[in-house]
Structure 1
């Protein structure tokens, strides 16, 4: 019995050593990475004439990769397949104004945040714009239903019986569905520019999206009929902010980007880029 027991222990020890060696060998020395981005969410990321990808995040990524001496390749990917494709190993990290949420933290790892923005409604019907008022002040919501109820009730009065456009799978989707699904029709879109088109065409009454997105697209002449309305919504309800997403089995890659982001935040690079692309400092 003792011999068998000892043999079994040795087998387990050898297995443990093998696993340890495997984990050490898998600790990758990163020299190149592939980054997925939607390339259709200006000014965060967008496809430029000629097919190159530009915007705030690609420019920030270029700075980070230069700091780390990494070869970085951007790859366009629809938002709704971004996290599953990351987990499947199609690319190494994702960058698409991704808000850190408890649900997402269960399946992917996040870098430290590099931005913190607000959500807002938009409308094109002059009567609805007049009723809601052009967007101005920022209302900070906590995510606590009881504390946020007074403002949510105001929104419910405005949105009752209306159709709201929202990009699917965003941090804003859950907010809209949780608070207004029972009193309004909700239409989900793969890309944010699609609900802006439907807003102009009168197929929906309101859109809900990021302030920075609307600030960019509403500067375009073809969108002059659309206005941000009501209060801009910020605060803890959206979590810590926007960050890069990684597979949970690449902690060394996340650590490299965290170090580079910390340096870019400390030396003012992130602030400079947010002011360039958003006309405001949205650093967290």
Structure 2
């Protein structure tokens, strides 16, 4: 029995060591963040290849507040979640809305940006008269109103071709609600469908109103405009957050606190106004 006692104590010590390690969780000193680099003003790539935009500034500021070294890299949108799960990077900041579908696969920080999704069309063209301009319709809180508005819009959209970025909530939205009325054409980036709309190769696009507003400000796209209401909620999600692996709760807690601190001190609002010319930060 005396010979077994040291072994038992050693085993208990080993269990205690693992318990403490599990309780403490992973310590983060460096965080690699992926962004698309093609979704201005959320994120984009400058002429010299440098990443810029709202989420680049925000990511660097969040890392500073979390006291970690920050590395922000570009990643194609259509592989952005699989590469996170494969460990290529630790977080995603790419204008990604928090949806129930995505939450089945990954986790998210608290919301750091909000904004609806809209149709973009040629200025003064036949689709500029889409009903509901300026209205904000939520598929979660006012689904009946949103569905009624869509039926009215389909009268003008019938037989038209609408561009949308592949593997996005916007493509899911068109497929669910408008595929019986329009031809859906998918693009690798929003930049590509913006160009096709401006050059008359599309009748409309469906995109974030914030991204479309930024596009319209460019001289080459001044012939575009927002048409109809903006949509949110439901499969379009509850707002934009940092995408994270479910296995990294410590990192989520760090991002949540840093985002909360920026909301509280007004710095998130200031950053949003700098890039979007309006406050897209959550109110609490």
Instruction: Give your verdict on TM over 0.5.
Output: yes
2:104 is aligned to 106
1:107 is paired with a residue of what secondary structure?
Answer: coil
1:137 is aligned to 134
1:254 is aligned to 252
Superposed counterparts of 1:1-284, under 5 Å: 17=15, 20=18, 24=22, 27-124=25-122, 126-132=124-130, 136-143=133-140, 145-234=143-232, 238-284=236-282
2:198 is paired with a residue of what secondary structure?
Answer: helix
2:3 is aligned to none
Tell me the alpha carbon deviations over residues 75-120 of structure 1, each in whole angstroms, 9 at most, x when there is no partner.
1001110000000000000011110000100100000001110111
CA shift for structure 1 position 145: 4.9
Q: TM-score, normalised by structure 2?
A: 0.88
1:271 is paired with a residue of what secondary structure?
Answer: helix
CA shift for structure 1 position 152: 1.3
CA shift for structure 1 position 191: 0.4
Distance 1:161 1:216 in 2: 28
Which is worse superposed, 18-27 or 90-99?
Answer: 18-27
CA 1:137–1:255 in 2, change beyond 3 Å: closer, same or farther? Answer: same
Distance 1:103 1:150 in 2: 25
Tell me the alpha carbon deviations over residues 157-185 of structure 1, each in whole angstroms, 9 at most, x when there is no partner.
12111001011122222111111111210
Q: Does the 8 Å CA contact 2:121/2:128 hold for their aligned counterparts?
A: no
Q: Does the 8 Å CA contact 1:164/1:187 hold for their aligned counterparts?
A: yes
Distance 1:236 1:177 in 2: 14
Distance 1:217 1:125 in 2: 13
Distance 1:224 1:125 in 2: 8
CA shift for structure 1 position 141: 2.2
1:158 is paired with a residue of what secondary structure?
Answer: helix
Question: Unpaired segments of 5 or more residues in structure 2?
Answer: 1-7
**How many residues of Structure 1 are paired with residues of Structure 2 in the alignment?**
271
Q: Does the 8 Å CA contact 1:125/1:205 hold for their aligned counterparts?
A: no
Tell me the alpha carbon deviations over residues 195-225 of structure 1, each in whole angstroms, 9 at most, x when there is no partner.
1111122221100100110111111111122
Distance 1:32 1:136 in 2: 45
CA shift for structure 1 position 131: 3.0
CA 1:212–1:125 in 2, change beyond 3 Å: closer, same or farther? Answer: closer
Q: Does the 8 Å CA contact 1:140/1:236 hold for their aligned counterparts?
A: no
